């Protein structure tokens, strides 16, 4: 089973439409993932439901519709998960700069040591 995500802009509605599709290639089954709100008698978290993907290119409501502002917030959060947050990136940049400085220092010390060794052997 594979989950595929499809994103489309609804420029007229100023929103982003996200459709998540569960695909079972063994059976050729494709279902749109739906989020089902909590109800009385059920746990207090959202559940998942599945609607078949219709044949013939019928219009299907997306799994999730977000305003542009909400979509940008989700995009930022996903980027932080994948690449680390801005504090992590700043720390990484500091480590990289320190590594460059140490490499340069080691190179300078090596050059001095080689020069002195060559002078001493002549």
Q: Rounded CA gap, 91 and 101, in Å?
A: 15
Q: Would 23 be classed as within a structural domain?
A: yes
Domain range holding 9?
A: 1-66
**Whole-prediction pTM:** 0.56
Q: Would 29 be classed as within a structural domain?
A: yes
User: Do 35 and 48 touch, CB atoms closer than 8 A?
Assistant: yes
Q: Rounded CA gap, 101 and 28, in Å?
A: 56
All residues at 6 or more sequence positions from 53 whose CB lies less than 8 Å from its CB, including other chains: 21, 30, 31, 32, 60
Q: Would 122 be classed as within a structural domain?
A: no
Number of domains in the chain: 1
> Which residue do the tokens 């994948």 mark?
82
Q: Would 101 be classed as within a structural domain?
A: no
Q: Give 4-57 pLDDT, tens digit per residue.
A: 888 988 888 788 999 999 888 776 788 888 888 887 666 677 778 888 887 766
Q: 100 pLDDT exceeds 60?
A: yes
All residues at 6 or more sequence positions from 25 whose CB lies less than 8 Å from its CB, including other chains: 1, 2
Give pLDDT, residue 113: 92
pLDDT bucket at 70, cuts 50 / 70 / 90: very high
């Amino acid at each position: 089973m594979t989950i595929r995500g499809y994103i489309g802009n609804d420029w007229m509605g100023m929103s982003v439409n996200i459709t998540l599709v569960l695909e079972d290639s063994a059976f050729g089954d494709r279902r749109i993932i739906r989020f089902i709100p909590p109800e009385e008698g059920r746990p207090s978290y959202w559940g998942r439901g599945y609607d078949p993907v219709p044949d013939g290119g019928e219009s299907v409501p997306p799994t999730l519709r977000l305003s542009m502002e909400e979509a940008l917030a989700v995009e930022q959060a996903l980027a932080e998960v994948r690449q680390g947050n801005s504090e992590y990136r700043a720390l990484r940049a500091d480590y990289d700069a320190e590594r460059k400085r140490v490499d340069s220092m080691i190179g300078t010390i090596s050059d001095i040591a080689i020069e002195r060794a060559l002078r001493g052997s002549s």
